[in-house]
Amino acid sequence: MTVNILVQSSYILAAVLFILAIKWMNAPTSARRGVLAGELGMLLAVVGTLIRHEVVDYQWIFIAFFLGSAIGVPLAYLMPMTAVPQRTALSHAFGALAAALIGTAEYYQHTPHGFTMVALVIEVLLGFLTFTGSLMAFGKLQEILPQRPIVYRGQHVVNLSLLGLAVLIGLYLILHPEQTWLFPVFSGLALLFGVLLIIPIGGADMPTVIALLNSYAGLAASFMGFALDNYLLVIAGALDGSSGLILSIVMCKAMNRSFTNVLFGAFGQLQVKAGAAAERTYRSASPEEAASILDAARSVVIVPGYGMAVAQAQHKIRELYEMLTRRGVDVKFAIHPVAGRMPGHMNVLLAEADIPYDRLVEMDDINSEFAQTDVALIVGANDVTNPAARTDKTSPIYGMPILDVDRARTVMVIKRSMSPGFAGIDNPLYYMDKTLMLFGDAKVFVSAMVKEVQALAA
């Protein structure tokens, strides 16, 4: 009786901590507290589960614990910040695979009936399709797989047919759970559907896909809780699933896209003919010229993007920010909801470089200030600053909310080349009279600008 009270108490406290963790991670100032609350909640959940009488052999649990730690700790410390989206995709894959394998083991050990079998079928279906889908997302983000959509004629029909067949087999297993030979077929269809679901989606939509896969993994865990009669798993999985779904909705809204368009739109094909950009004229500038413009400015808005992440330029950006601030320049950072390759990517990078939280301004709040801004400095951001989203009805991103950098008095863009961005769409901003292209690695170019600003101040 005492053990049962202890277990239930640890579960209740863990559930409260999970809810607080999500609440606190809504703001940069409390995000660290949220992470610690989530970690403590998970520790209580694991301890509570281990002291239940259901554990058969602790030896394998500890072997798995040390093996997992040996892989996970180096992975967390050695993974560069640019690869956080890939690591997130792998986390979803492993979590979903764990849920699916536990469901498989539960099925073959106990052959459950009724509602438990319903929960188990949903758990395994979501778990296996999320596993392979997350691996495909990882491959696209890591550029192991083509970032462009991989499409073929009749693809949607094939995908929906596979899903429909898997659902029908799942329903049959619910009614006839003793037909164990069908379970591997059901699992195989779920695994295959996960692959075919993600490969037609372009790399530009991977941030939304990651959030959606996070939702699937959470739902798999929640149904695993029903199958195992574990209320904490139900709560934790529901929190994960609902937060992932809400985040997906926010991401779709930020791109003016629908779920169906993200999942079936094959967005991300190159939209400009080869050589078309070369026919248009643009102006470039050296670090010396860019530093002179910044030195004369009174207000600067820096727009970070994935190019900053790739170059690991956030620390040099901080140096530039501090130097300009000391000279009386008002410097802010404009954050687009889908900048980078996952939600909050830019916030994390800038926080790592100790940029003050109050200098990070969300898109809806900063857009009204661009018209009074002397310089908009774009560091590797392309699609989220593309004015075609406002003006070109034929553009795939038409209607997507963007940062209104083209309304600043001067626009400077740090970019390696004139190649299109992640979405494969040319950016007319680069050919405007007020725009200066600063070609080169972001870290190297910003470092050169810092030296030039220092020289001007001497």
Q: Which of 57, 295, 354, 383 is catalytic?
A: 383
Question: Is 205 a known active-site residue?
Answer: no
Residue 192: phi and psi, rounded to 5, are: -65, -40
Query: CA–CA separation, 116 vs 336, rounded Å?
Result: 43
Within its chain, how far is the Cα of 458 from the centroid?
43
Residue 118: phi and psi, rounded to 5, are: -60, -50
Pairing of strands 330-335, 375-379: unpaired
Other beta carbons within 10 angstroms of residue 409's beta carbon come to: 15
51 Cβ contact partners less than 8 Å away, ≥ 6 residues apart:
3, 6, 7
Query: CA–CA separation, 278 vs 202, rounded Å?
Result: 25
Within its chain, how far is the Cα of 409 from the centroid?
32
Query: CA–CA separation, 431 vs 410, rounded Å?
Result: 13
Positions marked active-site: 383
